[in-house]
Structure 1
Amino acid sequence: MKELVETIAKALVDHPEDVRVTEVEHEQSLTLQLSVHPTDMGKVIGKQGRIAKAIRSVVYAAGANHKKRINLEIQ
């Protein structure tokens, strides 16, 4: 799951070396914390949050196979 978010984010940003994804596992959920270079924040979020919503949709669909709730936080 971590690799999926990293791959998507690195394709969107100007500073792919600054993309970091941290996994925090809970009992019934998994939180992925995505951090990018400050100048790339707008590219990851997109207009009206459309890019972020699309990334979340892909992550939620991939998480359905793992029977866990997936949360994506963009920092």
Structure 2
Amino acid sequence: MNATTTSYSDGPDKDFILYFVSQVVENPDAVSVERTVDELGVLITLKVGKDDMGKVIGKHGQTAKALRTLLRVIGSKHNARVNLKIVEPDGAEIMIEG
């Protein structure tokens, strides 16, 4: 099965991340969310502005872990494994598995 990137409003997991992150960051226009589905499950790729990375990850990664937990709940409702990848503005990636 090939990986596919689906349209903007194609899943509750993507819509949730977009809504939540847009509410907590200073620059919501810099928020970008992509949703890819393959044989391993769903991959949500999140990009935010450099100044907002701390808000998205949180102290000791607590916000990112909470997002992962909520994505797991959404995914289990739809029988899907959901992973969250946060891409830093410099290109580094932070993988949060659900």
Which TM-score bucket, shorter chain as reference? over 0.9
| Higher RCO (Cα < 8 Å, 6 or more apart) | 1
Give aligned pairs, total: 75
Alignment of 1:61-72 (within 5 A): 61-72=73-84
Report the counterpart of residue 10 of structure 1 in structure 2. Answer: 22
Q: Could you tell me which amino acid in structure 1 is paired with residue 26 of structure 2?
A: D
TM-score, normalising length from structure 1? 0.95
CA distance in structure 1 between the partners assigned to 2:40 and 2:63 by the alignment = 26
CA distance in structure 1 between the partners assigned to 2:68 and 2:23 by the alignment = 16
**Percent identical:** 36
Structure 2 stretches lacking a partner, 5+ long: 1-12, 88-98
Q: Which has the higher helix share?
A: 1
Report the counterpart of residue 73 of structure 1 in structure 2. Answer: 85
